Amino acid sequence: MSVENAFLFLKRAERDRTLRDEIALLKGRAAIDGLVVLGAQRGLAFTADEYRSAVVAMANGELDEAALHAVLEEVGLAKGRLQEPAPGTERTEN
């Protein structure tokens, strides 16, 4: 199991519509456990903690805020719609 496999899973989800559709069905607190299962079904073993680490690492530079929000939205963990920031301010959710 590895954070690298979680990264590979996230990258695969970007280009695999079927996988994105399966991810979209996952909701709430059990969503990450479902992501672990989906990864294992594709030969990409990782734990829930490794998945979280991959998402955090991507959010710290490899994944922009809109893309991170999209990932969270897909698993039912987004808090609201992302709004474009006013000039000179940070992006917020409503």
Domains of the chain by residue range:
3-93
Query: Can you tell me the distance from the alpha carbon of 47 to that of 10, in angstroms, rounded to the nearest whole number?
Result: 14
Query: In the numeric block, which tokens belong to residue 56?
Result: 């955090």
Whether 88 shows a pLDDT value over 80: the answer reads no
Query: What is the spatial distance between Cα 68 and Cα 70, in angstroms, rounded to a whole number?
Result: 5
* 42 compared with 69, residue with greater pLDDT: 42
The conformation of residue 92, written as its DSSP 8-state character, comes to E
Report the pLDDT averaged over residues 9-38: 92
Phi, psi of 63 (to 5 degrees): -130, 120
Question: In which band, very low, low, confident or very high, does the pLDDT at 27 lie, cut at 50, 70 and 90?
Answer: confident
